[in-house]
Amino acid sequence: MLYRLAADLVVVIHLLFIFFVILGGFLAWRWRWLPWIHIPGAIWGVLIELANGTCPLTPLEDSLRRQAGQAGFEGGFIEHYLMPIVYPGPLTRTVQVALGVLVVVVNAVAYVRYFKSRSTPDT
């Protein structure tokens, strides 16, 4: 039971991290110190997608599920949990690259506004 709860917690943390990677640039508008945490996290997320890598949270969750007596899963977090919801087909390399590019574009928009607002004096 404890391993299953730990695996579920890892899934929640993983999902929150993904949302943070995608949308954290917009949170920087509110908390000016956040880019120091977000930018390295976003770079990590993009590199994992573009390099076809595996986030360490995925094997951790898989290991916890196996210790709980549940079957682990093949593939990565996005392929296992998110892709069936968003796309009914498998996670292809093209989709993976598109997701990485999407993260870059969304955060570029957020940080362009962030840096413009920092360079414009308040009136």
**Domain range annotation of the chain:** 2-119
Per-residue confidence (pLDDT) for residue 20, from 0 to 100: 94
- CA-CA distance, 24 to 43, in Å (whole number)? 12
Q: Provide the phi-psi class of 69: left if phi over 0, else alpha when psi is between -120 and 50, else beta.
A: left
pLDDT, one tens digit for every residue, the chain (123 residues): 898 888 888 888 888 898 899 999 999 989 989 999 999 999 999 998 888 888 888 889 889 888 988 776 565 655 666 656 544 566 778 888 888 899 999 999 999 988 888 877 655
- The CA-atom distances, in angstroms, between 120 and each of 85, 92, 115, 117 are 41, 43, 9, 5
Per-residue confidence (pLDDT) for residue 76, from 0 to 100: 60
Angle at CA 12, nearest 5°, toward 39 and 3?
130
Per-residue confidence (pLDDT) for residue 73, from 0 to 100: 59
